[in-house]
Amino acid sequence: EDKVVQSPLSLVVHEGDTVTLNCSYEVTNFRSLLWYKQEKKAPTFLFMLTSSGIEKKSGRLSSILDKKELFSILNITATQTGDSAIYLCAVSAFESNAGNMLTFGGGTRLMVKP
Amino acid sequence: DTGVSQDPRHKITKRGQNVTFRCDPISEHNRLYWYRQTLGQGPEFLTYFQNEAQLEKSRLLSDRFSAERPKGSFSTLEIQRTEQGDSAMYLCASSLRSNVGGEAFFGQGTRLTVV
């Protein structure tokens, strides 16, 4: 059964700090790894990673995938209070009858204090 | 708003009642998914439609759960004889078949409380 584990479970930082969120996975027929941000409602898409070693970047957020060691990290630099949210990691596998079904980790709850 | 739309946003029901939730996906998306999210957990996959065909339903939590997408557009998720353990957020997501990597867009969810 596919499995995604995120760490830490929660994190409290101050504005301006840099944080690293971790995601490890076990999946048969890996297709991609995705990061989402969830603020009390719909998860919003951040990144999709399919290849090892290629960093995806969007503003202060960046992410990279290691398919050999089966993990990904999400970095947030110069954190702001608006970054406070639950960050979800998910994996997609090649399954002919399940489309792009995602298996999610439990999330990391980030709180950024002013 | 051209995103995924879910209705209602909140539902409170008494144990034993039936409930139905609706999801309107992004219009050009042919794939539709239902997930359940309980407090402190990530979303858990329930079922998947490609157009009107329900291609994966083995992960629906029990035979009290059913879903339809009759015309390949909106979808409904029904829970019969609700139990307190059904209290959760029910999320709908949609994607294009061409999104090979798996990028899906989520609705705001329906929060169900069973009392």
Which of the pair, B102 or A44, is modelled with greater confidence?
A: A44
Residues in chain B closer than 8 A to A98 (CB atoms): 45, 48, 55-56
Q: Would the pLDDT of A4 be above 90?
A: yes
Question: What pLDDT does B1 receive?
Answer: 53
Interface test with A, best of B37, B49, B90, B111 (most A CBs within 10 A): B37
Q: Mind listing the pLDDT tens digit for each residue in A51-104? A: 888 899 999 999 999 999 999 999 999 999 999 999 999 998 877 666 778 899
CB of A72 less than 8 A from some CB of B:
no
Q: Give the separation between CA A25 and CA A67, rounded to whole angstroms.
A: 10
Rounded to a whole number of angstroms, the distance from the CA of A113 to the nearest CA of chain B is: 21
Question: What pLDDT does A24 receive?
Answer: 98
Q: Give the separation between CA B21 and CA B72, rounded to whole angstroms.
A: 16
Q: Are A88 and A23 contacting, i.e. CB atoms less than 8 angstroms apart?
A: no
CB contact under 8 A, A97 and B56: yes
Average pLDDT over residues A21-40: 93
Q: Give the separation between CA A18 and CA B12, rounded to whole angstroms.
A: 40
DSSP, collapsed to helix, strand or coil, labels residue A52 as coil
Q: A30: which residues sit within 8 A by CB, 6+ positions away?
A: A67, A91, A93, A94
CB contact under 8 A, B56 and A105: no
Tens-digit pLDDT profile for chain B (115 aa)?
A: 579 999 999 999 999 999 999 999 998 888 999 999 999 899 999 999 999 888 888 888 889 999 999 988 999 999 999 999 999 999 999 988 765 666 889 999 999 999 9
CB contact under 8 A, A92 and B55: no
CB of A24 less than 8 A from some CB of B:
no
CB of B2 less than 8 A from some CB of A:
no
State both tokens at B40.
């402190």
Q: Would the pLDDT of A38 be above 60?
A: yes
Q: Would the pLDDT of A11 be above 80?
A: yes
Cβ-defined contacts of B59-67 (< 8 Å, 24+): B61/B36, B67/B34
CB of A108 less than 8 A from some CB of B:
no
Give the pLDDT band of residue A40 (cuts 50, 70, 90). Answer: confident
Residues in chain A closer than 8 A to B106 (CB atoms): 36, 42-44
- In terms of CA atoms, which chain B residue is nearest residue A32? B101
Q: Would the pLDDT of A36 be above 60?
A: yes
Question: What pLDDT does A97 receive?
Answer: 67
